[in-house]
Amino acid sequence: MGSKTRANTLKQFALNIREVPEAALFSHVSPDGDCLGSMLALGIALESMGKKVSYYNTSPLPDNLKFLPGIERISRSIPEDLPANLIFIDCAEADRVDSHLVNNCLPTRTIFNIDHHISNTLYGTYNYVDVTAAATGEIIYSLLRELKISITKEIAINLYTAIITDTGRFSYSNTTAKSFKIAAELVKTGIDLVAINNILFERKSLAQIRLLHKALSNLVLLKDGSIAVIVLSKEDFAETSAEENLSEGLVNYARNIEDVEAAVLLKELDNDEIKVSLRSNSWLDVNKVASKFGGGGHIRAAGCTINLPLSEATQSVVLALEEALKHGRNN
Protein backbone atom coordinates (compact mmCIF):
# COMPACT_ATOMS: atom_id res chain seq x y z
CA MET A 1 0.00 0.00 0.00
CA GLY A 2 1.39 3.41 -0.92
CA SER A 3 1.48 6.54 1.17
CA LYS A 4 -1.59 8.75 1.25
CA THR A 5 -1.10 12.32 0.07
CA ARG A 6 1.27 13.96 2.46
CA ALA A 7 0.20 17.53 2.48
CA ASN A 8 3.46 18.31 4.21
CA THR A 9 6.84 16.63 4.41
CA LEU A 10 8.00 15.62 7.86
CA LYS A 11 10.76 18.23 7.62
CA GLN A 12 8.27 21.00 6.87
CA PHE A 13 5.97 19.76 9.61
CA ALA A 14 8.86 19.79 12.09
CA LEU A 15 9.84 23.33 11.05
CA ASN A 16 6.28 24.52 11.63
CA ILE A 17 6.05 22.84 15.04
CA ARG A 18 9.39 24.31 16.06
CA GLU A 19 7.91 27.81 15.67
CA VAL A 20 5.02 27.15 18.06
CA PRO A 21 5.45 28.57 21.60
CA GLU A 22 2.39 26.86 23.06
CA ALA A 23 0.16 23.97 21.95
CA ALA A 24 -2.82 21.95 23.08
CA LEU A 25 -2.57 18.24 22.27
CA PHE A 26 -5.59 16.03 21.53
CA SER A 27 -6.12 12.30 21.06
CA HIS A 28 -9.19 10.30 20.14
CA VAL A 29 -12.15 9.11 22.21
CA SER A 30 -11.98 5.51 23.47
CA PRO A 31 -8.23 6.06 23.79
CA ASP A 32 -5.70 3.32 23.12
CA GLY A 33 -1.97 2.87 23.69
CA ASP A 34 -1.07 4.48 20.38
CA CYS A 35 -3.01 7.72 20.73
CA LEU A 36 -2.07 8.28 24.39
CA GLY A 37 1.54 7.12 24.09
CA SER A 38 2.04 9.26 20.98
CA MET A 39 0.43 12.33 22.55
CA LEU A 40 2.49 12.05 25.74
CA ALA A 41 5.76 11.40 23.92
CA LEU A 42 5.27 14.43 21.71
CA GLY A 43 4.15 16.60 24.62
CA ILE A 44 7.13 15.65 26.80
CA ALA A 45 9.44 16.42 23.87
CA LEU A 46 7.82 19.80 23.21
CA GLU A 47 8.08 20.66 26.90
CA SER A 48 11.79 19.81 26.79
CA MET A 49 12.06 22.40 24.00
CA GLY A 50 10.63 24.99 26.40
CA LYS A 51 7.13 25.07 24.97
CA LYS A 52 3.95 25.30 27.00
CA VAL A 53 1.89 22.16 26.46
CA SER A 54 -1.58 21.03 27.55
CA TYR A 55 -3.03 17.55 26.98
CA TYR A 56 -6.67 16.55 26.43
CA ASN A 57 -8.70 13.39 26.08
CA THR A 58 -12.42 13.47 26.76
CA SER A 59 -12.80 9.73 27.59
CA PRO A 60 -12.03 7.87 30.81
CA LEU A 61 -8.45 6.57 30.56
CA PRO A 62 -8.03 2.77 30.60
CA ASP A 63 -6.48 1.53 33.86
CA ASN A 64 -3.77 -0.42 32.05
CA LEU A 65 -2.47 2.79 30.44
CA LYS A 66 -2.16 4.72 33.69
CA PHE A 67 1.52 3.75 33.98
CA LEU A 68 2.40 5.92 30.95
CA PRO A 69 4.80 8.69 32.01
CA GLY A 70 2.97 12.03 32.01
CA ILE A 71 -0.55 10.56 31.96
CA GLU A 72 -1.54 12.63 35.02
CA ARG A 73 -1.19 15.75 32.86
CA ILE A 74 -4.13 14.80 30.65
CA SER A 75 -7.34 16.76 31.30
CA ARG A 76 -10.73 15.35 30.47
CA SER A 77 -12.51 18.66 29.88
CA ILE A 78 -11.50 21.01 27.12
CA PRO A 79 -11.45 24.71 28.11
CA GLU A 80 -12.83 27.48 25.90
CA ASP A 81 -9.60 29.49 25.90
CA LEU A 82 -7.41 27.14 23.91
CA PRO A 83 -4.07 28.32 22.49
CA ALA A 84 -3.68 29.25 18.84
CA ASN A 85 -2.06 25.94 17.92
CA LEU A 86 -3.80 22.58 18.32
CA ILE A 87 -2.11 19.24 17.60
CA PHE A 88 -4.36 16.27 16.78
CA ILE A 89 -2.69 12.90 17.25
CA ASP A 90 -3.91 9.57 15.80
CA CYS A 91 -7.27 11.11 14.83
CA ALA A 92 -8.62 10.29 11.36
CA GLU A 93 -11.20 13.05 11.68
CA ALA A 94 -11.26 16.09 13.94
CA ASP A 95 -14.54 15.07 15.52
CA ARG A 96 -12.88 11.89 16.85
CA VAL A 97 -11.83 14.26 19.64
CA ASP A 98 -14.96 16.25 20.41
CA SER A 99 -17.68 17.68 18.19
CA HIS A 100 -18.07 20.86 20.28
CA LEU A 101 -14.38 21.60 19.82
CA VAL A 102 -14.67 21.05 16.09
CA ASN A 103 -17.64 23.35 15.69
CA ASN A 104 -16.46 26.14 17.94
CA CYS A 105 -12.68 26.33 17.97
CA LEU A 106 -11.21 24.78 14.87
CA PRO A 107 -11.99 27.54 12.38
CA THR A 108 -9.98 30.02 14.43
CA ARG A 109 -6.96 27.84 15.22
CA THR A 110 -3.93 26.40 13.46
CA ILE A 111 -4.37 22.63 13.36
CA PHE A 112 -1.53 20.12 13.14
CA ASN A 113 -2.83 16.69 12.07
CA ILE A 114 -0.46 13.76 12.74
CA ASP A 115 -1.89 10.36 11.90
CA HIS A 116 -1.63 7.00 10.12
CA HIS A 117 -5.27 6.16 9.30
CA ILE A 118 -6.14 5.51 5.67
CA SER A 119 -9.46 7.29 6.27
CA ASN A 120 -7.78 10.53 7.43
CA THR A 121 -9.62 13.50 5.95
CA LEU A 122 -6.60 15.86 5.97
CA TYR A 123 -8.56 18.32 8.10
CA GLY A 124 -5.51 20.17 9.41
CA THR A 125 -3.80 23.38 8.49
CA TYR A 126 -0.74 21.15 8.37
CA ASN A 127 -1.18 17.44 7.75
CA TYR A 128 1.32 14.66 8.16
CA VAL A 129 -0.43 11.37 7.42
CA ASP A 130 1.65 8.28 6.75
CA VAL A 131 -0.56 5.24 6.20
CA THR A 132 2.49 2.98 6.01
CA ALA A 133 3.27 3.68 9.68
CA ALA A 134 1.99 0.83 11.85
CA ALA A 135 1.38 3.28 14.70
CA THR A 136 1.25 7.04 15.03
CA GLY A 137 4.03 6.42 17.56
CA GLU A 138 6.37 5.58 14.67
CA ILE A 139 5.65 8.96 13.10
CA ILE A 140 6.22 10.75 16.41
CA TYR A 141 9.57 8.95 16.73
CA SER A 142 10.62 10.22 13.28
CA LEU A 143 9.35 13.71 14.10
CA LEU A 144 11.36 13.81 17.35
CA ARG A 145 14.43 12.72 15.42
CA GLU A 146 13.77 15.54 12.93
CA LEU A 147 13.50 17.94 15.88
CA LYS A 148 16.81 16.55 17.28
CA ILE A 149 15.16 15.56 20.55
CA SER A 150 17.03 12.94 22.55
CA ILE A 151 14.81 9.98 23.40
CA THR A 152 14.49 9.77 27.18
CA LYS A 153 13.14 6.73 29.00
CA GLU A 154 9.84 8.56 29.56
CA ILE A 155 9.45 9.17 25.84
CA ALA A 156 10.58 5.63 25.01
CA ILE A 157 7.99 4.00 27.32
CA ASN A 158 5.24 6.01 25.63
CA LEU A 159 6.39 5.28 22.09
CA TYR A 160 7.11 1.60 22.74
CA THR A 161 3.58 1.25 24.14
CA ALA A 162 2.17 3.00 21.06
CA ILE A 163 3.95 0.59 18.74
CA ILE A 164 3.30 -2.68 20.55
CA THR A 165 -0.40 -1.94 21.01
CA ASP A 166 -1.08 -0.95 17.38
CA THR A 167 1.01 -3.82 15.96
CA GLY A 168 -0.43 -6.42 18.37
CA ARG A 169 3.10 -6.99 19.65
CA PHE A 170 4.58 -6.98 16.14
CA SER A 171 2.10 -9.52 14.81
CA TYR A 172 -0.49 -7.61 12.72
CA SER A 173 -0.10 -7.10 8.98
CA ASN A 174 0.81 -3.42 9.52
CA THR A 175 4.12 -4.41 11.20
CA THR A 176 7.20 -3.49 9.16
CA ALA A 177 10.96 -3.64 9.48
CA LYS A 178 10.75 0.01 10.53
CA SER A 179 8.48 -0.91 13.46
CA PHE A 180 11.20 -3.26 14.72
CA LYS A 181 13.98 -0.76 14.03
CA ILE A 182 12.29 2.02 15.97
CA ALA A 183 11.40 -0.39 18.78
CA ALA A 184 15.05 -1.46 18.94
CA GLU A 185 16.13 2.17 19.38
CA LEU A 186 13.54 2.62 22.14
CA VAL A 187 14.66 -0.56 23.90
CA LYS A 188 18.23 0.81 24.00
CA THR A 189 17.09 3.44 26.51
CA GLY A 190 16.70 0.65 29.07
CA ILE A 191 12.92 0.49 29.37
CA ASP A 192 11.49 -2.51 31.24
CA LEU A 193 9.94 -4.59 28.43
CA VAL A 194 8.67 -7.32 30.72
CA ALA A 195 6.85 -4.87 32.98
CA ILE A 196 5.29 -2.99 30.04
CA ASN A 197 4.16 -6.21 28.36
CA ASN A 198 2.75 -7.48 31.63
CA ILE A 199 0.72 -4.34 32.31
CA LEU A 200 -0.57 -4.04 28.74
CA PHE A 201 -1.34 -7.64 27.83
CA GLU A 202 -1.05 -10.13 30.67
CA ARG A 203 -2.46 -8.70 33.90
CA LYS A 204 -6.28 -8.62 33.91
CA SER A 205 -8.83 -7.47 36.41
CA LEU A 206 -11.50 -9.94 37.49
CA ALA A 207 -14.12 -7.76 35.76
CA GLN A 208 -12.17 -8.07 32.53
CA ILE A 209 -12.10 -11.86 32.74
CA ARG A 210 -15.82 -11.90 33.49
CA LEU A 211 -16.42 -9.68 30.46
CA LEU A 212 -14.34 -12.08 28.36
CA HIS A 213 -16.55 -14.91 29.57
CA LYS A 214 -19.65 -12.96 28.51
CA ALA A 215 -18.14 -12.12 25.15
CA LEU A 216 -17.23 -15.72 24.40
CA SER A 217 -20.62 -17.03 25.42
CA ASN A 218 -22.31 -14.40 23.20
CA LEU A 219 -20.10 -15.15 20.18
CA VAL A 220 -21.89 -16.43 17.07
CA LEU A 221 -20.66 -17.48 13.64
CA LEU A 222 -22.59 -16.57 10.48
CA LYS A 223 -22.30 -17.21 6.73
CA ASP A 224 -20.58 -20.60 6.92
CA GLY A 225 -18.30 -19.34 9.63
CA SER A 226 -16.87 -16.44 7.62
CA ILE A 227 -18.31 -13.79 9.97
CA ALA A 228 -17.90 -13.86 13.76
CA VAL A 229 -20.04 -11.56 15.88
CA ILE A 230 -19.78 -10.62 19.56
CA VAL A 231 -22.48 -8.44 21.09
CA LEU A 232 -22.09 -6.86 24.54
CA SER A 233 -25.16 -5.16 25.96
CA LYS A 234 -25.36 -2.57 28.72
CA GLU A 235 -26.52 -5.38 31.00
CA ASP A 236 -23.40 -7.42 30.19
CA PHE A 237 -21.24 -4.51 31.32
CA ALA A 238 -23.36 -3.94 34.44
CA GLU A 239 -23.38 -7.63 35.43
CA THR A 240 -19.61 -7.93 35.12
CA SER A 241 -18.89 -4.50 36.66
CA ALA A 242 -16.65 -3.90 33.65
CA GLU A 243 -15.96 -0.46 32.22
CA GLU A 244 -16.51 -0.13 28.49
CA ASN A 245 -12.78 0.18 27.82
CA LEU A 246 -12.10 -3.28 29.28
CA SER A 247 -13.41 -4.75 26.03
CA GLU A 248 -10.14 -3.82 24.28
CA GLY A 249 -8.86 -6.85 22.37
CA LEU A 250 -12.03 -8.96 22.71
CA VAL A 251 -12.77 -8.68 18.98
CA ASN A 252 -9.57 -10.67 18.35
CA TYR A 253 -11.15 -13.77 19.89
CA ALA A 254 -13.74 -13.57 17.10
CA ARG A 255 -11.15 -12.85 14.43
CA ASN A 256 -8.90 -15.72 15.58
CA ILE A 257 -11.41 -18.46 14.80
CA GLU A 258 -10.25 -20.41 11.75
CA ASP A 259 -12.07 -19.61 8.50
CA VAL A 260 -13.37 -16.30 9.87
CA GLU A 261 -12.66 -13.40 7.51
CA ALA A 262 -14.71 -10.65 9.19
CA ALA A 263 -15.08 -10.16 12.94
CA VAL A 264 -17.21 -7.59 14.69
CA LEU A 265 -17.72 -6.53 18.29
CA LEU A 266 -20.78 -4.40 19.06
CA LYS A 267 -20.88 -2.63 22.42
CA GLU A 268 -23.98 -0.94 23.73
CA LEU A 269 -22.61 2.20 25.38
CA ASP A 270 -26.08 3.62 25.84
CA ASN A 271 -29.53 3.25 24.31
CA ASP A 272 -29.09 3.87 20.59
CA GLU A 273 -25.35 4.34 20.95
CA ILE A 274 -23.51 1.30 19.67
CA LYS A 275 -19.72 1.28 19.33
CA VAL A 276 -18.59 -1.11 16.63
CA SER A 277 -15.13 -2.65 16.19
CA LEU A 278 -14.45 -4.35 12.86
CA ARG A 279 -11.53 -6.63 11.97
CA SER A 280 -10.62 -8.74 8.96
CA ASN A 281 -8.06 -11.47 8.47
CA SER A 282 -6.74 -11.55 4.95
CA TRP A 283 -8.56 -9.53 2.30
CA LEU A 284 -11.72 -7.70 3.34
CA ASP A 285 -11.44 -3.90 3.57
CA VAL A 286 -13.23 -3.12 6.85
CA ASN A 287 -12.36 0.58 6.58
CA LYS A 288 -14.81 0.67 3.66
CA VAL A 289 -17.48 -1.10 5.72
CA ALA A 290 -16.97 1.28 8.68
CA SER A 291 -17.15 4.28 6.36
CA LYS A 292 -20.69 3.27 5.36
CA PHE A 293 -21.62 4.04 8.96
CA GLY A 294 -19.65 7.27 9.18
CA GLY A 295 -16.59 5.64 10.75
CA GLY A 296 -13.17 4.66 9.46
CA GLY A 297 -9.78 3.34 10.45
CA HIS A 298 -7.49 0.90 8.68
CA ILE A 299 -8.05 -1.88 6.12
CA ARG A 300 -7.83 -4.68 8.71
CA ALA A 301 -9.09 -2.74 11.77
CA ALA A 302 -11.77 -0.07 11.75
CA GLY A 303 -14.68 1.22 13.79
CA CYS A 304 -17.79 3.36 13.89
CA THR A 305 -20.63 4.38 16.19
CA ILE A 306 -24.20 3.55 15.18
CA ASN A 307 -27.17 5.39 16.70
CA LEU A 308 -29.73 2.59 16.62
CA PRO A 309 -31.00 0.02 19.11
CA LEU A 310 -28.49 -2.81 19.65
CA SER A 311 -30.37 -5.45 17.64
CA GLU A 312 -30.89 -3.13 14.66
CA ALA A 313 -27.29 -1.97 14.70
CA THR A 314 -26.17 -5.61 14.76
CA GLN A 315 -28.39 -6.43 11.83
CA SER A 316 -27.14 -3.49 9.78
CA VAL A 317 -23.48 -4.28 10.39
CA VAL A 318 -23.92 -7.98 9.65
CA LEU A 319 -25.74 -7.10 6.43
CA ALA A 320 -22.97 -4.73 5.39
CA LEU A 321 -20.35 -7.40 6.10
CA GLU A 322 -22.33 -10.02 4.16
CA GLU A 323 -22.56 -7.62 1.22
CA ALA A 324 -18.86 -6.83 1.34
CA LEU A 325 -17.94 -10.53 1.54
CA LYS A 326 -20.32 -11.36 -1.31
CA HIS A 327 -18.73 -8.77 -3.55
CA GLY A 328 -15.49 -10.60 -3.06
CA ARG A 329 -11.87 -9.69 -3.18
CA ASN A 330 -11.99 -7.57 -6.31
CA ASN A 331 -14.23 -4.85 -4.97
- Contacting positions for Mn ion (CB under 5 A): 34, 90, 136, 166
Footprint of ligand 5GP on residues 302-321 (CB under 6 A)?
A: 302-305
Where helices occur in the chain by DSSP H, the ranges are 10-18, 33-48, 99-104, 136-146, 153-166, 177-187, 193-197, 206-218, 234-240, 251-255, 286-291, 310-327
The 255-284 site mask, x for binding ligand 5GP (CB under 6 A), equals: ----------------------x-------
Residues in contact with ligand 5GP, total (CB under 6 A)? 17
Which of 298, 299, 318, 320 binds ligand 5GP (CB under 6 A)? It is 298
CA distance 244 to 273: 12
Which of 8, 27, 30, 167 binds ligand 5GP (CB under 6 A)? It is 30
Which of 24, 92, 131, 196 binds ligand 5GP (CB under 6 A)? It is 92
Query: By C-beta, is 214 or 298 nearer to ligand 5GP?
Result: 298
Q: Binding to ligand 5GP by residue 136, rule CB under 6 A?
A: no
CA distance 215 to 240: 11
Query: By C-beta, is 95 or 236 nearer to Mn ion?
Result: 95
Q: Binding to ligand 5GP by residue 229, rule CB under 6 A?
A: no
- As measured in angstroms, the least distance from the Cβ of 171 to ligand 5GP is 15
Instruction: Go through 110-139 and write b for each residue having 16 or more CB atoms within 10 A of its CB, e for each that does not.
Output: bbbbbbbbbbbbebbebbbbbbebbbbbbb
CA distance 171 to 145: 25
CA distance 110 to 88: 11
- As measured in angstroms, the least distance from the Cβ of 30 to ligand 5GP is 6
Query: By C-beta, is 218 or 305 nearer to Mn ion?
Result: 305
What is 237-270 written as a DSSP string? HHHHT--GGGGTTTHHHHHTSTT--EEEEEEEEE
Helix then strand then coil, % of the chain, to nearest 5 = 45, 20, 40
> For ligand 5GP, which stretch binds (CB under 6 A), given 42-50, 215-223, 252-260, 296-304?
296-304
Which of 301, 313, 318, 324 binds ligand 5GP (CB under 6 A)? It is 301
CA distance 58 to 43: 17
Query: Site residues (CB under 6 A) for ligand 5GP?
Result: 28, 30, 92-93, 96, 117, 119, 277, 295-298, 301-305
